[in-house]
Amino acid sequence: MGIVLSDSMMGEITDKIALSVARSKAKRVLIPVNYCNTFVAGTEDMNLMKSIKSAVEEIKREMLIRR
């Protein structure tokens, strides 16, 4: 999630990076991580491994659609 939040990830995400990702026409698959004072509501029951597996499955679906 930090990739779309300017100045997140310990300041490594600049305004330009966040804006570029947000404006991209590509499908964004974000993994919610409650880190660096950012709380993502509705993710309390998902651990990181579940989130990663879900993201991978979504990417696989998207790749099948685009074939």
Which is more confident, 55 or 38? 55
pLDDT at position 13 = 85
Does residue 59 come out as left (phi exceeding 0), alpha (psi in the -120 to 50 range) or beta? alpha
What local confidence, expressed as pLDDT, does residue 10 receive?
A: 74
Amino acid 16: pLDDT = 92
- The overall pTM is greater than 0.75: no
pLDDT of residue 20: 92
Q: What pLDDT score does 2 carry?
A: 77
**DSSP readout, 35-55?**
-TT---TT-TT--HHHHHHHH
